Amino acid sequence: MKRLYSYLALLFVAIILFSCKSTTQPGKASNDITGKTWKLVELNGKPITLHNPKNNPYFSLNMADMRYSGHAGCNGVGGTFEITPEMMRIKFNQGMSTMMACDDLETELLFTKALLAADNYSVNGNTLTLNKARMAPLAKFTLQE
């Protein structure tokens, strides 16, 4: 009888350990968008065109202090954000930005407007899409290696 209880206890511990194992497999995409740099490739359904391709807008999310930071094309951008990964909800709060003028200022304005308007996101492989409700995507990004 003592042996049966030992086997049952061992089985119970094994079930708990295996149920806590992550379901993300190596090589498979994760829905975790934090701690990564996302490069802008599309705004309002159109590929971006830049006068200076070296200034491609990007952003990253830092969970330690719940802040986003990046470059909007001309100026640095940053602020706080709120995220609910299990529901794929996100909210960027108005933050700071430098105020330099440049050739790609229109793209910069649309980029920052898309960040502030987004309320949800989706991930497909190495592509992140920021959305507002169920409307067409506001902005599309690729994972920057």
pLDDT tens-place string over residues 22-52: 333 333 346 799 999 999 999 999 999 999 8
State how far the Cα of 145 lies from the Cα of 133, in Å rounded to an integer: 29
**54-63, 73-82, 90-99: the lowest-pLDDT one:** 90-99
Mean pLDDT of 63-73: 96
Q: In the block, which residue shows the tokens 């802040």?
A: 67
CATH classification for the domain delimited by 33-143, as one of 2.60.200.20, 2.40.50.140, 3.40.190.10, 2.40.128.270: 2.40.128.270
pTM above 0.85?
Answer: no
Q: How confident is the model at residue 14 (pLDDT cuts 50, 70, 90)?
A: very low
Q: Which of 94, 141, 144 minimizes the C-alpha distance to 122?
A: 141
Q: Is the pLDDT of residue 16 over 60?
A: no
Predicted local distance difference test score (pLDDT) of residue 97:
86
Q: Is the pLDDT of residue 115 over 90?
A: yes
Mean pLDDT of 69-79: 94
Q: How confident is the model at residue 134 (pLDDT cuts 50, 70, 90)?
A: confident
Residue 81's Cβ-count burial label (10 Å; 0-12, 13-18, 19+) is: buried
Residue 82's Cβ-count burial label (10 Å; 0-12, 13-18, 19+) is: exposed
